[in-house]
Structure formats: C-alpha cells, structure tokens
Amino acid sequence: MNDKYEIARTAEAPQTVRDSTRDERAARAATPPVDIFEDAAGITLLADMPGVARDRLDVRLDGDTLTIEGTVDLSAPEGMRALWAEVDVPRLRRSFTLSRELDPGRIEANLKDGVLSLRIPKQPQAQPRRIAVQAG
C-alpha cells in the first residue's frame, strides 16, 4: 500500500477505503491514449475515453490548441459500493497544437463505444491536387 490510501475496518463493512488525497485527484487528469492517422484530405484522431458520457465530454479549440477533456462516471451500481477502485483520477485530458495546414472550422467529432473520433480536414490549399498538362 502507498501513503495515499488507508484501509480501515468498520462495524458496518468488512473494509472501507479512505482516500486522503481526494481534492488533489480532482485537480489532476489522466492522459488518454490517442491514435492519429493522416491521409491526403486531413487527419483523424481516435481518443480512448472509457466511461465518459457525451454530456461529460468537452472538446475545445482555443487558437491553435485543441483540448479534449472528459469526466469518468465512477459511481458504483445501485446497492453496491466500491471497496477498491483502480481508477483514481476521474478526469481525462489531452491537448494538441494544430498545424496551420488543418482547417479548425470544419472539425467533426463523434463518440461511440468509449472512443472519441475527431476528423480534422486540411485547408483546401494544403490538399494535394492534380495539375492538368496541355499538349503542344
């Protein structure tokens, strides 16, 4: 055990876990894993956001900084309470600096099965184009 957790026995439950750093944890955030794919038309970000509901997800663009932040629902099923929890930071947060080649005005976001998908197209002038060649 580390110094952040203390196990105490009580008369009402066999074990109760008390966390002495609850306020400290509320201010911290875990970094979700993100996969980034690029094609000729833009990039796609796939962020793992397990336990984050759509209404508890915040995707923001501030200047050229894209921030993804979500709050995990750590509530126990009705009639039960947690004796131990592996997840001790209820927030997930990740920030990215977007290239000027990308068009932040056309970002599309979708959350499905705990995975946030962001599609960020490239600016029209940054996309490859075919140039017609005239004969003679």
The strand order across the sheet containing 108-112 reads: 34-39, 42-48, 115-121, 108-112
Residue 27: the pLDDT is 65
Q: 74 φ, ψ to 5°?
A: -100, 15
Residue 87: the pLDDT is 67
Question: What is the C-alpha separation between 6 and 21, in angstroms, rounded?
Answer: 11
Residue 13: the pLDDT is 42
Residue 5: the pLDDT is 41
The CATH class, in words, for 29-126 is: mainly beta
Question: Which pLDDT tens digits describe the chain residue by residue (136 residues)?
Answer: 444 444 333 344 444 444 444 445 556 888 999 999 999 899 999 999 998 999 999 999 999 999 999 998 777 788 888 787 776 678 999 999 999 999 999 999 999 999 999 999 998 877 777 888 888 7
- List C-alpha distances in Å: 3 to 7, 13, 20, 85: 11, 22, 9, 16
Residue 10: the pLDDT is 38
Residue 17: the pLDDT is 42
The domain segmentation of the chain, as residue ranges, is 29-126
